[in-house]
């Protein structure tokens, strides 16, 4: 069992001023599967993903795994580094693709030979060998998302939160990205994929959830 793999969320609420922007009495997340969260702009997708990544603290709510519960106040610290949020627009650090891929591992103080071996495997997995030494910021949008997915996978997250990952890609980049997500699914990585596009729902085989006005449908 990974350190904290969410199986359900209970009574989650988040206010912005007096406005209740998220109100989720109960949400099951199937571990080892992809859950596709679809809803229009402003429905609360990004907010929910960021709460699950520990980037925003909810006002109320409890997160449960099979073995324990975490309060909303404790969640940001508990989820940090275990639940990874992938921004809608992939953010590349300065340096090459390899620098980007090794960043988290260096922060975690992995030994150089282990980093090298993980990088070799991940470059192969994401078909990024030909871009390994390129400056990451100069890559196309689709390529940057592939690097971001590989950079997340290399850290072996308990939960991967994908925010409209395919929204700004051309068709071929979207097809490659769906394939990478399917590979992650085959490896049993738990994912929540937020989208407002029909296509992702057809392309990905997962649990489908709808959201509107901060409430699950």
Ligand X SMILES: Nc1ncnc2c1ncn2[C@@H]1O[C@H](COP(=O)(O)OP(=O)(O)O)[C@@H](O)[C@H]1O
CB of 72 to ligand X, least distance (A): 16
Can residue 38 be called a binding residue for Mg ion (CB under 5 A)? Answer: no
52 within 8 A of 192, measured Cβ to Cβ:
yes
Q: How many residues bind Mg ion (CB under 5 A)?
A: 2
Our CB check for ligand X shows the closer of 63 and 85 to be: 85
Q: Which two tokens stand for residue 181?
A: 């997500």
Which residues touch 116 (CB under 8 Å, ≥6 apart)?
A: none
Our CB check for ligand X shows the closer of 47 and 102 to be: 47
Distance between CA atoms of 100 and 209, rounded to whole angstroms? 32
Find which of Mg ion, ligand X, none residue 47 binds, CB within 5 to 8 Å per kind. Answer: ligand X
CB of 47 to ligand X, least distance (A): 3
Which of 49, 29, 18 has the alpha carbon at shortest distance from 195? 49
Residues in the chain: 217
Pick left, alpha or beta for residue 73 (phi over 0 → left; psi -120 to 50 → alpha; otherwise beta): alpha
Our CB check for ligand X shows the closer of 41 and 172 to be: 41
Find which of ligand X, Mg ion, none residue 104 binds, CB within 5 to 8 Å per kind. Answer: none
CB of 24 to ligand X, least distance (A): 12
Among 35, 38, 46, 165, binds Mg ion (CB under 5 A): 46
Our CB check for Mg ion shows the closer of 45 and 153 to be: 45
Our CB check for ligand X shows the closer of 45 and 153 to be: 45
Residues in touch with ligand X (CB under 6 A): 16, 21, 39, 41-47
| Sign of the C-alpha dihedral computed for residues 104, 108, 112 and 118 taken in this order | negative
Which residues touch 109 (CB under 8 Å, ≥6 apart)?
A: none
Binding site for Mg ion (CB under 5 A): 45-46
């Amino acid at each position: 069992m990974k350190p904290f793999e969410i199986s359900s969320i209970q009574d989650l609420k988040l206010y912005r001023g007096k406005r209740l922007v998220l109100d989720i009495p109960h949400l099951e997340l199937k571990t080892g599967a992809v859950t596709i969260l679809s809803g229009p702009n402003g429905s609360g997708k990004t907010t929910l993903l960021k709460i699950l990544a520990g980037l925003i603290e909810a006002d109320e709510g409890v997160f449960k795994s099979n073995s324990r519960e975490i309060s909303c106040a404790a969640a940001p610290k508990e989820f940090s580094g275990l639940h990874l949020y992938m921004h809608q627009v992939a953010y590349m650090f300065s340096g090459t693709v390899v620098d980007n891929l090794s960043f988290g591992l260096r922060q975690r103080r992995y030994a150089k030979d282990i980093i090298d071996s993980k990088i070799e495997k991940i470059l192969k997995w994401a078909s990024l060998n030909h871009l390994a030494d390129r400056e990451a910021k100069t890559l196309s949008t689709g390529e940057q998302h592939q690097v971001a997915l590989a950079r997340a996978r290399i850290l072996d997250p308990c939960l991967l939160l994908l925010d409209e990952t395919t929204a700004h890609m051309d068709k071929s980049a979207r097809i490659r990205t769906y394939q990478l997500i399917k590979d992650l699914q085959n490896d049993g990585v738990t994912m929540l994929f937020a989208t407002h596009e029909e296509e992702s729902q057809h392309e990905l085989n997962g649990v489908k959830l709808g959201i509107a006005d901060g409430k699950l449908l």
